[in-house]
Amino acid sequence: MRRRAFLSLFGGAAAAWPLSVRAATGKRPVIGFLSPGPQLAYATWIAGFTQRLRELGWRDGNNLEIIYRATDGVKERIPEIAAELVGLKVDVIVTSGSETVVAARQLTSAIPIVFAATADPVAAGLVASLAHPGGNVTGLSAQSTDYASKSVGLLREAVTGPQRVAILTDAANPGAMAEAAKVQIAARTAGLEFVTLAVHGGEEISSAIGGLKSGSDAVYCVPGPLASTNRVRIITSVLATRLPTIYGSREYVEVGALMSYGPNFSDLFRRAAEYVDKILRGTKPGDIPVEQPTKFELVINLTTARALGLKIPESFLSRADEVIE
């Protein structure tokens, strides 16, 4: 506890220094970008973030420095890496997922923290409210009140007559478990049976999914850092069972998954850059409202559908934002 208290105090003192002193000395601001998974898995989203910064006049290596750190999917490293960024006296920490935001906030109450996507920041205690975050944390919520029910409904439409759905989620992530609970309610409301596969790490995914070769008709993959980190492993395991699956972002479908419904995460990371821009220009993070996704997109991989022997209704395909062939 004393070490944590020290780090928290240290982080607060560190944050008070950069924005005032760097403004006076002309030193370029420093952004700490913390990926709660392998940096490669976040490459597309990082590209959107840095591109938007350039459009706003901030260029890495010119008038801005970005320090990238990644946990490589090892959750135990989150506090260590967050402490490293605080120790480096960065001006803003950018991350995603409630676990990394909580870890960073425990270390500093003064360095602004911007989350590019998290499930429910109010329920997670990250902000006081969406309209008035307060404190040093703000960003973009990936939540939608009817997201789970819409996803379950889309899965039922695409797959004729499913009776039982398996819900794959991260047992160690409170946000993912909360989302899984919403999926359970949506499945029950739709008259579907369900089984929840709550895994504790990537090494459990293949065996958990492998046990579904009989007894389930479809899979719902709950979004989160664990799913993003193990994207290829999940897709490979699911395709081996020949079970249709719905995911939370288009990146899965682009590498062979059947379908996805969710916010455009590249867009969320672009918008996170706008938060950083406002903070660097003097706006307090607690005064910047948390925003929600402005667009949810449905993406379908028709090649995968054919490989699974699925006949996706034309009426369903016509509603997709993108059909990959």
Contact 116, 266 (CB under 8 A): no
Residue among 19, 15, 291 nearest 130 (CA)? 291
Structural element, H or E, at residue 138: strand 137-141
pLDDT(6) > 50: no
Pair (61, 159) in one structural domain: no
Question: What pLDDT is stored for residue 21 in this prediction?
Answer: 39
Would you state the pLDDT for residue 26? 63
- Provide the pLDDT for residue 134: 95
Kindly state the average pLDDT of the residues 140-164. 87
Stronger pLDDT, 147 or 135, i.e. the higher one: 135
For the chain, what is the radius of gyration of the CA atoms? Answer: 20
Same domain, 12 and 136: yes
Q: Does 71 lie in the same domain as 35?
A: yes
Cβ atoms of residues 275 and 288 within 8 Å = yes
Q: What pLDDT, on the 0 to 100 scale, is given for residue 211?
A: 85
d(CA 158, CA 312): 6
pLDDT at residue 132 in the model: 96
**Same domain, yes or no, for 243 and 107?**
no
| Per-residue model confidence as pLDDT tens digits over 112-128 | 999 999 888 998 889 99
pLDDT on residue 56: 98
* Number of structural domains in the chain: 2
What's the domain range around 113? 2-142+265-294
Give the pLDDT confidence score for residue 20 in this predicted structure: 44
Cα separation values, 43 from 60, 211, 247, 276, Å: 16, 32, 18, 19
> What pLDDT score was predicted for residue 8?
39
List pLDDT tens digits, range 33-87: 999 888 888 899 999 999 999 999 999 999 999 999 998 878 889 999 999 999 9
Q: Say if residue 161 is in the same domain as residue 241.
A: yes
